[in-house]
Structure 1
């Protein structure tokens, strides 16, 4: 069906089906059932068992495919479930290149699980194309990119990576969690596969877990659906409904969050206790111009380095409106200590190489009043 519109905002609100075709309900029903009745032998409604497919999950998958300009989307129980299912398409002896500045969970699943089954990996600064090319091997099958990266906000030139990969028949994968399809559409830039932790901006309210794989290759999509059906990490109906509800307000949330983030980043940059601010919306950010070319926004994630470990811990313990918690992308502003939380599984030497130290903090900016957020940081920083 799909909505007859061009704007992202309208597509996000109306999704694949703006109302239920049977009842007219404008909120997609939650099909909270495990199995479906067959009309007769060899006759199915198209739904047999919710692990294989569920109408609520199907609506979510089709909606996100529309928003990412992809042909197929698969919904999983978390972002890590999506990445894990995707990595099972590779074979023992295959090699993948990953952004060296990346979420600790992606590093953990690669090193502690898939390496045991013969998948080898290299961690590279994908924002530097020469280092990327140097690490490509004959058995390299994929390049996995975070851009902006987590937590150092490095920007990778996606069109340039696509050109390098296409010459060598290498799959390109982008984790688009930080920007969402509202600000960045990697498939339009030639990327093969997009993954999301839908727990973050897509859901937007810190109340559910979800993950997605979006792609245009229908053969690979069918292979992934068979893997998903076999492993069973399929997103339940209620979580699918929550994510659909969140997507309806994605555009207005991100507009407000980005507006707040720009003001907070500029304030942090001028504070005497802040040594560095990493936010791609700042004009002096190394990847600012590249991001302007391949995205329509900068997002609402900020990382910054304070003058000491003691200052970092004081901020974490003294903020009142900003919440000291893991995760990101919700309407509430969260502050995270990457060294001890999101990136604890990454070896210390690798953390130090990319800049994840005891002085680094990461903020996911929410939709609160920005003056309240700045005053909260000011009170935490200053005696």
Structure 2
């Protein structure tokens, strides 16, 4: 089969899969059961938890996109991480960055308490420090790159070599960059996870997760756990993710173009102390000069929505301290750099000038609300 470029692969995802009708858009197969032609014979589909035609289209296409051997569509991003964690046994250790999505931290802590799977957190800014922290019990490195919410890029290729040297799994959460900007398996990862709710679905209308893996044995283990646990993606939600993926390259270009422009403009905003943007992708974070600005700023935004989640066509702003990272104890959260001045912006595909005007207006009203104390003296 001819290898296609990414944009072509995604635009054509699921097409020409219904030769009986010639339907261009792939059909949604809602049936949970499939008739057997005879004893010991199967069409390849037996029961929807094990395999579904619509979900299979998504999984096969996404495995090809991430250049893995198999993909597993899950009922949420956290279900995807849960599927990966099902590979571990009591005593199996994981090393992870300190800057990590709060939901992942919460699940890691649950597995630590409930199943005896220890997770140790490191800055991951010094590969030699991470390598020194590997023990006989360490089984995996779990990395977000860029990290959430401080947007720190981690060199996956370096950590892929370290993982291989020590016989560890390298697991990468690729939600923020998507396969359009980064392919972790190509860089040495064994497993890639996504909250497909975010950029892959792209429209804030579907809850989904994806896991992609490389290697027959690893894929076989994940397939067995996926079927046994049953946290699979429904046919309709699988179709929604397929629909979203078709425009992913176009959307990522606009997300990134807008984010670059907004990051540059925010650096000159008098009430902003720091802008955290890795130079690519659609996510950025910022610190305001005075935490008192946060509430009136959020209340005065008209276009940008104060909401949890990210990666949709609409721009969202999030306050990690009380939303995405609230489950990390406050003292530890602050030590990790997630303080009360930090805001996270998921930049959508609206006109950048409109987004910039919305932020400028909200900042001005917020300054008026607190008496302009957040503007440094000149």
**TM-score, normalization by structure 2:** 0.94
2:309 is aligned to 327
Q: 1:114 offset after TM fit, Å?
A: 4.5
2:375 is aligned to none
Aligned 8 A contact 1:128 1:156 in 2: no
2:237 pairs with 1:239? yes
Aligned 8 A contact 1:177 1:197 in 2: yes
Name structure 2 gaps, 5 residues minimum.
366-378
Q: Deviations over 1:176-211 (max 9, x none)?
A: 000000110011111111000000000000000110
Q: Deviations over 1:33-72 (max 9, x none)?
A: 1111111111111000000000000000011111111111
Aligned with 1:375 (options 338, 357, 368)? 357
Aligned 8 A contact 2:91 2:117 in 1: yes
Q: Which has the larger radius of gyration?
A: 2
Aligned 8 A contact 1:16 1:62 in 2: no
Aligned with 1:364 (options 340, 343, 346)? 346
Rounded to whole Å, the distance in 2 between the matches of 1:21 and 1:342 is 45
SS in 1 for 2:355: helix
SS in 1 for 2:192: strand
Q: Deviations over 1:7-44 (max 9, x none)?
A: 21111111265442332111111001111111111111
Q: Output aligned runs, 1:1-383, within 5 Å.
A: 4-15=2-13, 17-281=15-279, 298-383=280-365
Aligned 8 A contact 2:69 2:219 in 1: no
SS in 2 for 1:188: coil
Name structure 1 gaps, 5 residues minimum.
282-297
Aligned 8 A contact 1:97 1:122 in 2: yes
Q: 1:89 offset after TM fit, Å?
A: 0.7
**TM-score, normalization by structure 1:** 0.93
Q: 1:308 offset after TM fit, Å?
A: 1.1
Over 6 Å off, 4+ runs: none
Rounded to whole Å, the distance in 2 between the matches of 1:64 and 1:314 is 42
CA 1:66–1:18 in 2, change beyond 3 Å: closer, same or farther? Answer: farther
Aligned 8 A contact 1:334 1:364 in 2: yes
Aligned residues: 365
